[in-house]
């Protein structure tokens, strides 16, 4: 009977039934979240496809992004004395490992950079990164930009680079963006990019090679650096958004699959409990009947 089962510490039939119902609800929620993510991923992929050629010119000035596949082999020796690290993370959760990879990479980078006697500070984009990194190195954080309204656009990138400038980006020797890069719906990688301002010799030297306004080379280089930084933030943000969406899709699919497996095991348990109950009821009836006869 139910009381005997509960007294022995086993889950009763009613409890298992409730568990099955709530797991079924969770499975419905996660599979609908997966479909929403798949739809949003399409939009993010399109935006990323447009951002790629838009940002192509910066690769000639910035060097290739470095793949953060094995943190042990990354030394950060090419970084100059003062670096501003900009990790790009998501605001919403339930997106798999995207944010924890970034946090781990930044923590590792800060340790190695400080060990080399160089300085670094952090401006965090995204709420999940803020909550994870504020536990490890709160004193290094200069600014955070959270609750970003999706989808991003160039205006957002311009605003974020204005935040970086306000945090002092022009006084650093380089800006290092750490971001997730979308490969396909199942795969994403972590990269970091180093963006350095162009060196100009001579103040007030005018631009003779091309007719340009402004005419002063140092001014042109300053404007170019500003624009390059904004364009890079734009591309890395688009990349990170697509990676986050694909990771969320995978995470929700795994959650639905696990929920389905749980439902199967619980259903078997439930049937066993139900049959045990019916058997004990039958035994009671039969023994009661034979007691009356005898």
Partner 1 sequence: MSTPTTFWRLAGMSYTQYVTRAATALRNGLKEPAKTQAMRNEALSYNSATWAGGKAGSKKPVQVLSEAGL
Q: Which residues are near partner 1 by CB under 8 A?
A: 134, 138-139, 141-149, 152-156, 158-167, 203-204, 213-216, 218-219, 222-223, 226-227, 230
By beta-carbon proximity to partner 1, the closer residue of 5 and 152 is: 152
Report the alpha-carbon distance of residue 252 to residue 242 in Å, rounded. 15
Read off φ and ψ for residue 167, nearest 5 degrees: -80, -5
Asked if 160 and 237 count as a contact pair (C-beta separation under 8 A), the reply is yes
For residue 271, the cross-strand partners are none
Report the alpha-carbon distance of residue 196 to residue 84 in Å, rounded. 11
Task: For the CB of residue 82, give the shortest distance to partner 1 in the complex, in Å.
Answer: 18
Task: For the CB of residue 223, give the shortest distance to partner 1 in the complex, in Å.
Answer: 4
Asked if 82 and 119 count as a contact pair (C-beta separation under 8 A), the reply is yes
Task: For the CB of residue 111, give the shortest distance to partner 1 in the complex, in Å.
Answer: 17
By beta-carbon proximity to partner 1, the closer residue of 124 and 263 is: 124
By beta-carbon proximity to partner 1, the closer residue of 77 and 147 is: 147
By beta-carbon proximity to partner 1, the closer residue of 148 and 177 is: 148
Q: Is 128 helix (H, G, I), strand (E, B) or coil?
A: helix
Number of Cβ atoms within 10 Å of the Cβ of 8: 7
Task: For the CB of residue 164, give the shortest distance to partner 1 in the complex, in Å.
Answer: 8
Report the alpha-carbon distance of residue 285 to residue 155 in Å, rounded. 77
Task: For the CB of residue 32, give the shortest distance to partner 1 in the complex, in Å.
Answer: 26
Structural tokens at position 254: 């795994």
By beta-carbon proximity to partner 1, the closer residue of 237 and 270 is: 237
């Amino acid at each position: 009977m139910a009381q005997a089962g509960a007294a022995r510490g086993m889950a009763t039939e009613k409890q298992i039934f409730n568990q099955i119902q709530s797991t079924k609800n969770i499975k419905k929620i996660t599979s609908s979240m997966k479909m929403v993510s798949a739809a949003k991923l399409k939009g993010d992929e399109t935006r990323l496809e447009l951002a790629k050629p838009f940002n192509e010119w910066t690769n000639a000035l910035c060097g290739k992004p470095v793949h953060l596949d094995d943190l042990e082999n990354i030394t950060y020796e090419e970084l100059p004395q003062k670096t501003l690290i900009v990790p790009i993370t998501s605001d919403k959760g339930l997106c798999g490992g995207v944010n924890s990879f970034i946090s781990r990479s930044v923590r590792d980078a800060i340790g190695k950079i400080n060990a080399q006697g160089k300085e670094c500070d952090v401006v965090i984009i995204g709420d999940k990164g803020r909550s994870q990194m504020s536990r490890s190195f709160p004193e290094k954080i200069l600014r955070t930009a959270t609750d970003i309204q999706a989808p991003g656009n160039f205006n957002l990138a311009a605003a974020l680079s204005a935040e970086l400038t306000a945090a002092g980006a022009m006084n650093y020797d380089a800006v290092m963006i750490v971001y997730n890069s979308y490969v396909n719906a199942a795969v994403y990688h972590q990269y970091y990019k180093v963006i350095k301002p162009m060196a100009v010799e001579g103040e007030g030297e005018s631009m003779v090679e091309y007719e340009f306004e402004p005419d002063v080379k140092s001014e042109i280089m300053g404007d170019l650096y500003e624009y390059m930084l904004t364009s890079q933030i734009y591309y890395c943000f688009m990349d990170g958004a697509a990676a986050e969406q694909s990771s969320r899709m995978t995470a929700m699919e795994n959650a639905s699959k696990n929920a389905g497996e749980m439902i199967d095991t619980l259903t078997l348990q439930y049937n066993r409990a139900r049959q045990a109950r019916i058997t004990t009821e039958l035994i009671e009836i039969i023994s009661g009947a034979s007691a009356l006869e005898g």
